[in-house]
Amino acid sequence: MSAELPDRPKPPELSGVDLARQALVAAKEQARARGAAAQQKKQARRGGLRSGARADGRDPLPLGAAINRLITERGWETPAAVGGVMGRWPQLVGPEVAQHCEPQRYDEDARVLTVQCDSTAWATQLRLLAPQLVRRLNEDLGQGTVKVIKVLGPGGPARRYGALRAPGSKGPGDTYG
């Protein structure tokens, strides 16, 4: 007993125009390969790559263009832009806020900018201004670069532990942050 396979549809046969297109594509690929091989032989006979009359990747660049190319090749656009924000902080937030609040670090993965304030009053003020500041930073850096601003209060004085310390107390650190 033989099991017969169902009839499979045969792929359509190519017409003359389609065959000609396939042949043209194959011929172009072969010519490209032969041209690349000939170019490599020619360069090997001349002693390697040499600069010609036209601009190529080996030509000298102005310093700014070289730095921009390096930043782009390495994927450092966002860290470089955020570093620029840290340098232009007073222009972005205003001189009064910049006098009391300073950017500390940027977490690229979480897209969080951490800012340290010199008093709890300024920390509270900056927490209230955070949504507007996030919007302003994203307008400058690109949408979604900064999602959250983490505001830190002032660091308290060094904690001293001694005989007259109440159990569970954080000492003078209770009033800071």
Domain spans, the chain: 85-152
CA gap 55, 72 in Å, rounded: 20
Q: Which spans in the chain are helix H?
A: 16-46, 63-74, 77-87, 89-93, 95-100, 120-141
Residue whose structure tokens are 């001293």: 160
Radius of gyration of the chain (CA): 33
* Residue 107: per-residue pLDDT: 83
* Residue 59: per-residue pLDDT: 77
Query: 113: exposed, middle or buried (C-beta count within 10 Å: 0-12, 13-18, 19+)?
Result: buried
Strands (E), 41-96: none
* Residue 127: per-residue pLDDT: 92
CA gap 78, 144 in Å, rounded: 11
* Residue 60: per-residue pLDDT: 82
| Amino acid symbol at 76 | W
* Residue 177: per-residue pLDDT: 47
> What is the CATH number that goes with domain 85-152?
3.30.300
* Residue 9: per-residue pLDDT: 57
- pLDDT tens series, the chain, 177 aa: 445 555 655 556 666 777 777 888 888 888 788 777 777 777 666 665 566 677 777 778 888 888 888 888 888 777 777 777 777 888 888 888 889 888 888 887 888 889 999 888 999 999 999 999 889 888 887 788 888 999 988 876 556 666 676 666 666 555 554
CA gap 84, 22 in Å, rounded: 53
* Residue 46: per-residue pLDDT: 65
